[in-house]
Structure 1
Amino acid sequence: MRPATARAAPPGRVRIIAGSLRGSRLAVPDLPGLRPTPDRVRETLFNWLQPLLPGARCLDLYAGSGALGIEALSRGAQSVCMVEREPVLAAALRANLDRLKQHAGTVVQAAALDYLARAPQPFDVVFLDPPYAADAWSAAARALQPWLAPQARVYVEHPAALPVPRLPAHWQALRSARAGAVNYALYRVDRQG
């Protein structure tokens, strides 16, 4: 068995791994700093989430390529809201959803923390994978609190070279793994009043 690597697919070559859209390719612009979650990491993550996805309301807070949000739709999520600040990426997300006829996916062009300053709605699954240079994990985790449904799951991805992001104490790590230079974990969050 070869050692695990976490090399992201080049732009334009991101594919959906399983579900109704299995094998579909996402058109992804070539932008600096964009690093779609690698196939191997997505496969592990969605194996962890599979029992929870059918009917789940999901939030892809730093959507980027849309690989996480569209994979969730492919595997039975009721809806996915994808938040993306970059206009070119937001337009590509909308185009991919239209081309794949995924009407349960919506795109909000906004900075993540600006989006979280709005009136909250509950989400069952949240993908928290900000640009590494932004160092936004802790601030986003705090701002997410009123948006989380009871027993919500939050996926957190960060570079292995950095310390684990500071997350709220009541977030319980359920699973974690490392693939190459990427650490990732799934948390259960008991909503705090």
Structure 2
Amino acid sequence: MPAMQKKKVPNQVRIIGGDWKRTPLPVLEALGLRPTPDRVRETVFNWINHLHDAAWSETQVLDLFAGSGALGFEAASRGAAKVTMVDANSAVVRQLETNREKLKATNIAIQRGDALATAQSLAGRGARFDLIFLDPPYQQGLLERSLPLCRPLLKDGGLVYAEAEAPLAIEGWEVVRADKAGMVYYHLLQALPENEA
């Protein structure tokens, strides 16, 4: 192979922990789709394990901009009671469903729909989650628009994982943990009590 030619990296993510550890999952090439890197996922799940004493069996998870599903599948692999994945792209949803079938993941529900509208609908139906993943496409203001919708969806003490192209300091939210990998800033957030927000 000529020295200047780059080797094509296969479009896949690998689950890093739990029942499906080391299982590769194919990822579609879709606009704005950036699977969360392995190192970041490992760090984030270590944070979550520490904060929740690795008590996954009762955990309700919402992956609001599911994309590759890397975060949601990781939570399901670790034994989350239920993971709800939401994505607006039909082809991405079909790939998520294929991956769910491959894993025989009965604890994963997949919905096609707009993330913001789905969050409002879930809140209206009284759905509550222990953990919400927010990894929307960058530079569209989606993080700032979706975070307020997460507050009524969180159980007491619930966490939001937010990935962004810049550090976050958003009114009404406490940054519990934060770090940076390359150009990615990632955060674990908790909603401040309404009287402190």
Same fold (TM > 0.5):
yes
The structural deviation recorded for 1:166 is 5.7
* Alpha-carbon contact 1:60-1:82 (below 8 Å) kept: yes
Residues 114, 177 of structure 1: alpha-carbon distance in 2 compared, 3 angstrom cutoff: same
- Of 142-151 and 50-59, deviating more is 50-59
Q: Which residue of 1 aligns with 2:92?
A: 89
Residues 44, 114 of structure 1: alpha-carbon distance in 2 compared, 3 angstrom cutoff: same
Q: Give unmatched runs, 5+ long, in structure 1.
A: 1-8
Write out aligned runs for 1:36-185 (5 A): 36-51=35-50, 52=52, 53-54=55-56, 55-118=58-121, 119=124, 120-160=126-166, 164-165=167-168, 167-169=170-172, 171-185=173-187
Q: Which residue of 1 aligns with 2:3?
A: none
- The 4+ residue runs of structure 1 with deviation greater than 6 A are none
**Alignment partner of 1:189 is 2:191:** yes
Equivalent position SS for 1:177 = strand
Q: Deviations over 1:61-93 (max 9, x none)?
A: 100000000000111211100010000001111
Identity of aligned pairs, percent? 38
Which one has the largest radius of gyration?
2
* Alpha-carbon contact 2:15-2:22 (below 8 Å) kept: yes
- Of 115-124 and 10-19, deviating more is 10-19
Q: Which amino acid letter does the alignment assign opposite residue 138 of structure 1? A: E
Q: Which residue of 2 aligns with 1:26?
A: 25
* Alpha-carbon contact 1:157-1:185 (below 8 Å) kept: yes
* Alpha-carbon contact 2:169-2:175 (below 8 Å) kept: no
The number of equivalent residue pairs is 181
* Rounded Cα–Cα distance in structure 1 between residues aligned with 2:62 and 2:171: 18
The structural deviation recorded for 1:134 is 2.1
TM-score by length of 1: 0.87
The structural deviation recorded for 1:13 is 1.9
Residues 47, 109 of structure 1: alpha-carbon distance in 2 compared, 3 angstrom cutoff: same
Root-mean-square deviation (Å): 1.8
Q: Which amino acid letter does the alignment assign opposite residue 45 of structure 2? A: F
* Alpha-carbon contact 2:119-2:149 (below 8 Å) kept: yes
Q: Which residue of 2 aligns with 1:17?
A: 16
* Rounded Cα–Cα distance in structure 2 between residues aligned with 1:139 and 1:166: 14
TM-score by length of 2: 0.86
* Rounded Cα–Cα distance in structure 2 between residues aligned with 1:121 and 1:153: 15
* Rounded Cα–Cα distance in structure 2 between residues aligned with 1:152 and 1:127: 11
